[in-house]
Amino acid sequence: MKISIWLKAFRLRTLPLALSCSILGSFLAYADGKYRWMIFLFSSLTILFLQILSNLANDYGDTIHGVDNEERVGPERVTQTGLVSKKQMRIMICVFIILSFLSGSILIFIGLYNILHIVLFFVVGLAAIYAAIKYTIGKNPFGYVGLGDLFVFLFFGIVGVAGTYYLHTQTMNFWIFLPASAIGMLSSGVLNLNNLRDIENDARAGKKTLVVRLGTQAAKYYHVSLLSLSLLVSLIYTLKYYHSVYQFLYVLTFPLFIYNIYVVLQNAEPFKLNSELKKLAFSTFAFSVTFGIGLIL
């Protein structure tokens, strides 16, 4: 198989969004003087493998369920178009299940010493792998009953950021869940944009995403809420631990999110939202980096 075909299946443009978790969690730990580069390396690898696994499972699952078809308005899917056979995709999914498990196992063993904590993180890690697969594969997948947003918020927000922070520091406090929630809501916003773009095709195919259940207008207000709350909880965290104006460096990314909200509210043709997906993913990545740099400065 051509590498370019698999790179298309991996959906590389989603990877900076996934990396936002480990980046922000590691920056928060560094600001507390407890950063370990091995934790950052393996947390980043694990999150990337999980994101790619989720993308591959989505490619395969939506084809099996008939959601990816000739009427789809998003980017080309390699299974539905025949660029990759179903068998080849199943093999690649298994490869990334193994990679996620191995990378996650190394991360846990180098980051934790308490046996109870090791077991707990293994359970969470296995749950993350299961959620990545179950999003669109099997009977009653999460993404088909409107639960996709919840799992994205949990695993690519709360678990991704707070879990990385804990692996660095061996400590946890309530306030860490604010920036973790911010990344979770922004990641859910990317998924919401994806589902707004695909609302017509998803509804015809019986894929009852949260957008399909809410309807276009309510889903737009939901999008506004996600982005607005993410920025609000970030400001609350900064005010709680305020030491320097540099901590507000991430505010420079706010116009990107405000413009995204404007575009979504004004949109009348769902397929035109496709370009906004990459922009929002990049904006989230920029937010996590500037948030972290501000803490260090």
Q: Is the pLDDT of residue 69 over 80?
A: no
Give CA angle at 122 (120, 126), nearest 5°: 120
Q: How far apart are CA 249 and CA 297, in angstroms?
A: 9
Q: How far apart are CA 148 and CA 136, in angstroms?
A: 9
**Is 2 strand, coil or helix?**
coil
The answer to whether 179 touches 31, Cβ cutoff 8 Å, is: no
> What integer is the mean pLDDT of 246-258?
97
Q: Which of 156, 158, 155 is nearest to 181 (CA)?
A: 158
Q: What residue spans define the domains of the chain?
A: 3-296
Band (49; pLDDT cuts 50, 70, 90): very high
Q: What is the largest CA-CA distance in the chain?
A: 56
Lookup result for tokens 């889903």: 219
- Tens of pLDDT, residue by residue over 221-244, are 999 999 999 999 999 999 999 999
Is 270 or 221 the better-scoring residue by pLDDT?
221
pLDDT of residue 67: 74
Average pLDDT taken over every residue of the chain: 93
Residue 261 in tokens: 């909200």
- b/e 95-131 (16+ beta carbons within 10 angstroms → b): ebbebbbebbbebbeebbeeeeeeeebbeebeebbeb
Secondary element (H or E) of residue 184: helix 177-197
Residue 288 in tokens: 């996590």
pLDDT of residue 54: 94
CATH architecture of 3-296: Orthogonal Bundle (1.10)
Q: Which of 215, 228, 222 is nearest to 270 (CA)?
A: 215
Q: How far apart are CA 139 and CA 173, in angstroms?
A: 38
Q: Provide the 8-state DSSP code for 140.
A: S
As a whole number of Å, the CA-based R_g of the chain is 19
